[in-house]
Structures are given as C-alpha cells and as structure tokens.
Amino acid sequence: MGRQPVCFIFAPMTRWENYMNAAAGIIDEYDGSLPLHHFLKSFFKARPHMGSRDRRRIQQLVYQFYRLGKWQEQMPVQERMLLGAFLCEQSSDALLNFFKPEWNERITDTVSDKLNFLELSWDAAEVFPFLSHLSEGITPGAFTLSYLQQPKLFIRARPGKKAAILRLLETAGVEYETIGEHTIALPNGIKTEQILPDKNTYEIQDLSSQETGQRFQPKTKERWWDCCAASGGKSILLHDTQPSIQLTVSDVRSSILENLRKRFADAGIKNYDARVLDLTKPVTGLRPFNGIILDAPCSGSGTWGRSPENLYYFSEKKIAEYAALQKQIAKHVTPLLEPGGRLVYITCSVFKEENEDAVAFLRNECGLEIEESGVIKGYDREADTMFVAVGRK
C-alpha cells in the first residue's frame, strides 16, 4: 500500500483572535497623518463582511491601545491592547475573559487596584510627554488617568426645549444626567439623530464648551463677531443667549462655512453676516464690534480623551506653531473692538503657551485689560478641558 496522505487540521481562529489580529493590523498601518476615526471608516468600508458588533469591538481595542500614550510602549502590541482593555473597561468583557480570565475577574476594580494587581506604576510623563507645557492648576496624575475613559456625550437644550428632550429620552429608555439649566449628559454611542430627530431643539456641545458661554454676556442689539467660527457652535450659543444681537461669523475655510450655514438653518438662525477671512492678515471692511469671540485654532490637547491617537502622534514642535498663529490672529482681531468692548479668548488646549502666554500677549501687546482667565477643568467630570479669558479694550 502506498503512503496515506497526511491530513493537517487547523483549528479556526475564534472571534476574539480575529478581533485582536484586525486591531493589530490597524495599529501597524495607521501613521497618525489623519484623524483615527477617518482612517477606521475607510478600513471598515473596505471590509464589508465585518458586522457592526465586530467593528465596534475592534475599534475599542485600537482606541484603548492609544489611550495609554507612550506608557509601556515596549510591550508587544497585542499585550498592550489587552492592558488597555483591562484598565479602560469597567464591566465583564468576553474578549478579555478569553485571553486573560484572571484579569477579567478583577474588571470592576479601581484603576489603582488594577495597577497594583499587575505590579505596574502609572507614569504620567510617559502617557503625556508634554507635562512641562501644562497650564497652571492641572494635576498631571488625574489629568492623564482621565484618558482611560472616553468623555461623555453632552448636549445643550436650546431655550424652552429641555422638557421635550427629556420626555423623548425617557420614552427611548436612555439614561441621562442633567447638569445646570441646559446641559444633558448622555452615554457615548447614543444615536441622537434617531432619538431626537428635531435638530432645532438641541446642540451637541461639550460641557466645558458650553460653560465658556457664561463669559459672553451680550446685550440687546450689540454687534458681535465670532471670528474663528468653524461650524458655529459658539455662535449658536451666543445667539441663544441674546437673539437680538447683530452677528458676524467668519472662518478661513469656505467649506466649513457651508457646514455653518446648514447648522444655522437647522437652528433657525437667519440674520447673520458670514465671511471667508484670513486672520493672519490685517482685516478690512468690517465695522468695530461690541464683542468678539476668538475661539482660536489650537492643538486640541484638552479634547484628546476623544481622539487619543494624538497622545501617541502629536509633535511637541506644533505647540509653538499654534501659539504663534494665535498671537498673529489676536493682533489682527483686537483693533476691531469698540472702546469698552470685550474679547472672549477660548482654546481647547491644556498648554500654557496657548493659554497663559496668549493672555500675556493680549494684555501687553494688544492693550486689553484682562478681567478673567483660567482653565475650565473637564478631566475630573468626563468632559473636555478648555481655557477661557476675557479681555476688555
């Protein structure tokens, strides 16, 4: 008899192993050159066989990897993903139970207890290699530990709409928390457009961002300019505070102003002047304003809990570049303040070069009297961290 053929039997990979391999492949391919959520969208579009549950869990693994910043970078990628999952998750996880059942048994422990169990120490300087640039009052340990948890989804109920919004959330069985008069905190992943289809009733806006609006204080029929308006979130907040203002909005990007126009239409705002302006150059053709909102282009470092890939890929040299841009814009904007007018300077940055140093420039070079300045902490309440200053001419 001839030799019988040898049959090799390969056990198929489990779903969890497939997830880990896919996530590791994403991390290997991704280089930080575009936002991670855009990269993931293209990645999953090319793999239509992956269901929504598959995509969601793979995406979680990738984000949890980047939430560790540069800490424990020497670990193999898949081990580091499991470490991220263990520290970020708070309820029993089937994937973690498959690979590390002894970790999954302790999933509800505090982060401190988890680190003690693993005999690891949290190194804030490795997680966030830019600690020397932090603004005053930010606690490095608490700030960096906040990266292990994605900030909540916050919405701002527009005037008179809060009760109706809460009824819809309760009907849909959505857990929520109300904060102050207008803010509602929701779990991440809620599809607001399905539960709250009327876009005229609310704005998606972070808690700290909403709180910057407390500094606007517009008066009836004043002239206000949101000079770096982007898609118009601050302008809508300003308009809701005082609908009678004469509003001008501008941005350097015409495409983003198209988004603003659509957002304004949804919000029912019709009377405004929108302009494409490059504020790195002197501004002409505008009358002076009673108030100016300078929501400056910045590093976005106070929002990296939502985009933790920046912890890994951000270049320190960009801090100085953003700081120089902010000063250039401030120099060209402040001459358009009326005497006695107020400028509200805002960043979503935690870097002193973009915050305290910018305030010093507004005072010393632009001649503004600084009435208030400081960090709006979000890292201790599952929100973004921002900076705001108010200067008067």
> Would the annotation count 251 as a binding residue?
yes
Residue 315: both structure tokens together: 């270049």
Residue 55 burial (CB count, 10 A): 17
Residue 263: both structure tokens together: 């957002």
Q: Are 136 and 375 in contact (CB under 8 A)?
A: yes
Which run of H or of E encompasses 392? strand 386-392
> Would the annotation count 123 as a binding residue?
no
Indicate the angle between helix axes 15-29 and 52-66, nearest 10 degrees.
Answer: 50
**Could you give the C-alpha distances from 361 to 298, 326, 385, in angstroms and in order?**
16, 10, 22
Task: Name 377's Cβ contacts closer than 8 Å, sequence gap at least 6.
Answer: 137, 138, 208, 385
Amino acid at 120: L
Alpha carbon distance 379, 142 (integer Å)? 7
Q: Are 238 and 225 in contact (CB under 8 A)?
A: no
Is residue 329 classed as helix, strand or coil in its secondary structure?
helix
Q: How far apart are the first and last CA of the chain?
A: 101
Which among 88, 228, 298, 348 is annotated as catalytic? 348
Class of residue 12 by CB neighbours under 10 A (exposed 0-12, middle 13-18, buried 19+): exposed
Catalytic residue at 348? yes
Which run of H or of E encompasses 118? helix 111-118
Which of 102-114 are b and which e, b meaning 16 or more Cβ less than 10 Å from the residue's Cβ?
ebbeebebeeeeb
> Would the annotation count 266 as a binding residue?
no
Which of 23-51 are b and which e, b meaning 16 or more Cβ less than 10 Å from the residue's Cβ?
bbebbeebeeeeebeebbeebbeeeeebe
Annotated binding site for S-adenosyl-L-methionine: 251, 278, 295
Annotated binding site: 251, 278, 295
Question: Which residues are identified as catalytic?
Answer: 348
